[in-house]
Structure 1
Amino acid sequence: MKSFRLNRLFNPVSKKCFDVAVDHGFFNEYQFLEGIENIRSAIEMVVQASPDAIQLTAGQAKYLQQIPGKQKPALVLRTDVANVYGASLTTGSFSKMIEQAALQAVRLDAACMCINLFSIPGAPEVTGQCIDNIIRLKLESEHYQVPLMIEPLVFRPNSDKGGYMVDGDIKKIISLVRQAVELGADIIKADPCTNVEAYHQVIEVAGDIPVLVRGGGKTADEEIIKRTAMLMQQGASGIVYGRNIIQHKHPAHITRLLMDIVHGEATLEDTLAKIQ
């Protein structure tokens, strides 16, 4: 039955997935709310661009799932919350999982669940909590047959412009991606690396588990389009972008341009010409 839900995530022709993350309000960071202050409006705007999936929390999934019709994006349910994104780590850093996450996913008609696997300088205890969460959720995932998307994230030190900054070291990314696969991931949502031309190594270490690449911080249009094209050429199974969509002046437009790249419906040159 997991394959049935996975079929809802991936385009039937390209076999790729473009997922828009709109779960940033979960993490108690004011700067994460830019573009999603009105969550209902933000979700409706993204839905108009028809991405393959939208990543939301249990508290906000209703705004997607109450939209009528069969063609709306699949729901990716965020299952864990953390307090590790500020300019400095607190003495009580944590990653906590919602209760009975897989049951909530079933009730919300989610196509899969997303959970973090952090590697944060100065916070090894949070990595341990993430592993505990994944071990628990893996059993629920199998019981309810809801696919498990593990998000291995290698942070730079929080003092470098706050948390959630991509480290970019491919060796660290490879190691954490492999650990996520070993823990039972059905899908990987991974960091990009500094040298995008080396990303095939991340794809290789994940084996037959599809790898979706996250965006990280806000990036200029031309750069994010070029990087997306290169990642797809390296063998990525899709993309998960959040702030590069929801904080854009024209979210629906940039979503369509990036989807054309992901699904192979437009060349890089044609897409760059349509930025304006």
Structure 2
Amino acid sequence: MISEINTIKFDKFTIVDACTSVRKMINYTADGYRFFIVFENSHLLGVISIENLLQSHPNRIAVDVISDNFELIPEDTSIWEAYEKLEKNKNKYLIVLDCSNNIIGIVDYKGLLPYIAKYIDPLTGLYKSDYLYFEGIRNLNLQKELSILFLDINEFGNINKKYGHINGNIILNEISYILKQNTPQYNWCRFGGDEFALVAPLKLEEGIALAEQIVNAVNEHQFTLNIPIKVSIGITGVRLNSSYPLRNQIKIINNLINKASLESTKAKKSLPACLSIGGCFDISEIA
């Protein structure tokens, strides 16, 4: 569910001295090496990728062509966290260390994309539901209050039957666009079908205000073929309790998502109301 960086297959790398010639390193590439980690007197200087290597004059040495744009990360770093680091700086290299501080791999943006792609919904470009657990657990560990929003498109099955699944897919993309535009600081997920979910470090009243903003944006949007679209959003939250130990974070996130989804169903049954609020639970009630 929350994969660690050590679960991916690292590209082949080797460690070289700062004075190693580019010509010699080019010869290494025949054995499949993609990265060269450069040391001088046991001091880590930087990284050379095969792409940079092949653009360099063969008479130069490693220290002339290295990139010092790297970061050391432990092997239990989540793939999500690694991706966020590289998304902010696409030229950075992440050097992965095991528990004994030995180098076990190196990752760049290009190399991580195939692994992160399986967590991205191909239709909408939103993350899949796995991301909810990463974001939820990260914020719980930071001692932050959480709000969970669970959004359903009303009568979406009938929309598919009346207008066709191609237009239904267009509607899903338009909803995704509205979510991205109205909450650029957060990452919505496509939970499945016509369901979308968000876990965010917001107090319940802030989550409610955000849900109202989304509903208004949907109501004001002109959808393809002027199809009338309404959404229902269930909202719930959790606050930490200093006297209650934080544990079973995945169970907490599961329970919160489930409660928010039930509130979304309740909102659908209470039309024309668009929101249903499940309240903010103490961590002891939800763990």
Which of the pair has the greater relative contact order for Cα pairs under 8 Å at 6+ separation? 1
TM-score normalised by structure 2 residue count:
0.26
TM-score normalised by structure 1 residue count:
0.27
Larger Rg: 2
